[in-house]
Structure 1
Amino acid sequence: MKRMSIIVFLLILTHFQMNAQHPSTGRYATVNGLKMYYEIHGNGAPLVLLHGGGSTIVSTYGAILPELEKTQQVIAIELQAHGHTPDIDRPLSFEQDADDVAALLAQLHIAKANIMGFSNGATTALQMAIRHPELVNKLVLASALYKRNGTPPGFFDGFNSATIDQVPPQLKTAYLAANPDPKGFEAMFRRDVARMKNFKDISDEAIKGIQAPALVISGYTDVILPEHSLLLARTLSHAQVAILPGGHGDYIGEVCAPDKQSVLPALVTAMIIQFLKAP
């Protein structure tokens, strides 16, 4: 009986720890009518982290953020309808997300920052560089999509029949750790599906107009085709590219990555830091 009480206590403690906002780093800002959650970690040059679709700060960057914050001032953001940030009555788009990030940087009096985005967050990072180029120093584009043909055949058709039960359980757990309201999780799912169904190509002209140096990263068996990552790097004016073993986000230890002992996240983090430090 005593052992059972201890187990129950530990489970309750774990629940509250998972659902707690980071007391020293988590905060909110009102931007464009949105109550946006963000965290600030470390010191150094500002590095904005933009998570993937259906994700949170922790589920996308939990494995590499502790190393990044050793040399950067990390500003990790949860975008509309994701994690701690609630949904509001307005369209969800990559362009709107970029405008929200720009408004947050203005509130924080940050004139220029490095921007890293993963998956949907990388598309938002591209929109940051297109819509707010004066704010962008360097770009880290992880599994970035800018054309619909950058995914395997049938990828976008899948959103026509997508159900919430298909969301990876790791992403659901991560969302509910940030916001235990299941209605919020359902809203995020609907928003992300609608956004992907309505996704339109970003023109080559817009990509070529981006002057910020960029590091393009993806996995060889990623949902983003390696050919697409190579094309993006070649279309950007100043870019480097790294195609790594593994799938979508495995190389940064994203929460769905199957190999929790992989050395790739450490390697990629070192690569990112070296890129950001270079003149």
Structure 2
Amino acid sequence: MTSQTTTENQTIQDSTSGYATVNGLKMYYEIHGQGKPLILIHGGGSTIQTNFEKIIPLLSKNRKVIAVELQAHGRTSDRNADLTFEQDADDIVALLKHLNIDKADFFGFSNGGTTTIQIAIRHPEIVDKMILGSALAKRNGVPDWFWGFMAQAKLENMPAQLKDGYKKVAADTNGLQVMHDRDANRMVNFKDIPDEQIKAITVPTLIIIGDKDVITPEHALELHRQIANSEFAIIPGGHGQYIGEITTITPDFKESDLVVPMLEKFLDKKPTK
């Protein structure tokens, strides 16, 4: 389906959405704007809109933003298999091949950041630059309570905004429990990404977290030290507040609080010779 969307400054951009058969999934994607491709990869329990609704209109003014929904999330189907970050990475690359995109920038948030790391490890040829928003690479990158919480995770404790966001778009809302359980099991079974794999990443990388994030500053700083060609920023706020993630929106929300100018500055930076 194709539609026209109008941004606040009345510039008109092309927006399309669709499904692709990818590795046994019916995978949903949206394309906004024109220009160099930027792939947005959502976090656990999320949809395109719950993570990125606030920043897509801004980022798509100057580039082609391609947002995806991963296995069991939002409008994308489930397969009879546990979630893994490696499989998510392969699914996204297969989708991009379907869309005839051989190189792109990537922005992954939370679990999507971990998936983005796997794309850079497994498919470095497709990555130009990557932004890791609150990404986890090691179990010690979050406080100890996180793992106990995940081991006891229940659907009723999932943020209402994320449950509502899923129900708003999913063809079958009975999949909510499946999505929740697959996400929780993936985190319970999460294993450290080996140092040598992280150190082998050479693409220009921007690492960002909030100062009240679930990801620890020490972890983000260690990622910065291990990825040689990287920049690092700590932004005031909680997990995803810097992009207007739906659970962080407060009545005093302002577009000017978002980190879009920082993202664009990084993405537009020419490589130094």
Same fold by TM-score greater than 0.5: yes
Q: Is the 8 A contact 1:252 1:265 kept in 2?
A: no
Alignment partner of 2:214 out of 184, 199, 223 = 223
Alignment partner of 2:137 out of 128, 140, 146 = 146
The SS at the match of 2:143 is coil
Superposed counterparts of 1:240-259, under 5 Å: 240-259=231-250
Alignment partner of 2:227 out of 186, 211, 236 = 236
CA distance in structure 2 between the aligned counterparts of 1:140 and 1:168, rounded to whole angstroms: 25
Q: Is the 8 A contact 1:80 1:88 kept in 2?
A: yes
Superposed counterparts of 1:2-41, under 5 Å: 24-41=15-32
The 1:139–1:260 alpha-carbon spacing in structure 2 relative to 1, beyond 3 Å, is farther
- What is the deviation of 1:162? 1.0
CA deviation map 1:6-45 (0-9, x unaligned): xxxxxxxxxxxxxxxxx95210001111110000000111
RMSD: 1.4
Q: Does 1:164 align with 2:170?
A: no
Residue identity opposite 2:34 in structure 1: N
Higher fraction of helix = 1
CA distance in structure 2 between the aligned counterparts of 1:143 and 1:83, rounded to whole angstroms: 21
CA deviation map 1:140-159 (0-9, x unaligned): 10000000000012211211
Q: Please identify the structure whose Cα radius of gyration is greater.
A: 1
Which has the larger displacement, 153-162 or 130-139? 153-162
CA deviation map 1:66-113 (0-9, x unaligned): 000001100100000000001111221000000001101111111100
**What residue in structure 2 maps to residue 194 of structure 1?**
185
Alignment partner of 1:97 out of 73, 83, 88 = 88
- What is the deviation of 1:261? 3.4
CA distance in structure 2 between the aligned counterparts of 1:24 and 1:226, rounded to whole angstroms: 37
Residue identity opposite 1:162 in structure 2: A
**Structure 2 unaligned residues grouped into runs of 5+:** 1-13
The 1:256–1:190 alpha-carbon spacing in structure 2 relative to 1, beyond 3 Å, is same
Percent identity between the aligned chains? Answer: 53
**What residue in structure 2 maps to residue 3 of structure 1?**
none
CA distance in structure 2 between the aligned counterparts of 1:28 and 1:260, rounded to whole angstroms: 35
- What is the deviation of 1:244? 0.8
Q: Is the 8 A contact 1:92 1:195 kept in 2?
A: yes
- Runs of 4+ displaced beyond 2 Å: 258-267
CA deviation map 1:148-190 (0-9, x unaligned): 0000122112112111000000000100011153321111001
CA distance in structure 2 between the aligned counterparts of 1:262 and 1:251, rounded to whole angstroms: 11
Instruction: Give the TM-score normalised by structure 2.
Output: 0.91
CA distance in structure 1 between the aligned counterparts of 2:84 and 2:201, rounded to whole angstroms: 20
CA distance in structure 1 between the aligned counterparts of 2:166 and 2:214, rounded to whole angstroms: 22
CA distance in structure 2 between the aligned counterparts of 1:271 and 1:42, rounded to whole angstroms: 19
**What residue in structure 2 maps to residue 127 of structure 1?**
118
CA distance in structure 2 between the aligned counterparts of 1:46 and 1:258, rounded to whole angstroms: 27
CA distance in structure 2 between the aligned counterparts of 1:118 and 1:86, rounded to whole angstroms: 21
CA deviation map 1:190-210 (0-9, x unaligned): 100110011000011111101
The SS at the match of 1:37 is strand
Residue identity opposite 1:109 in structure 2: N
CA deviation map 1:235-270 (0-9, x unaligned): 112100110111100111000014353447654101
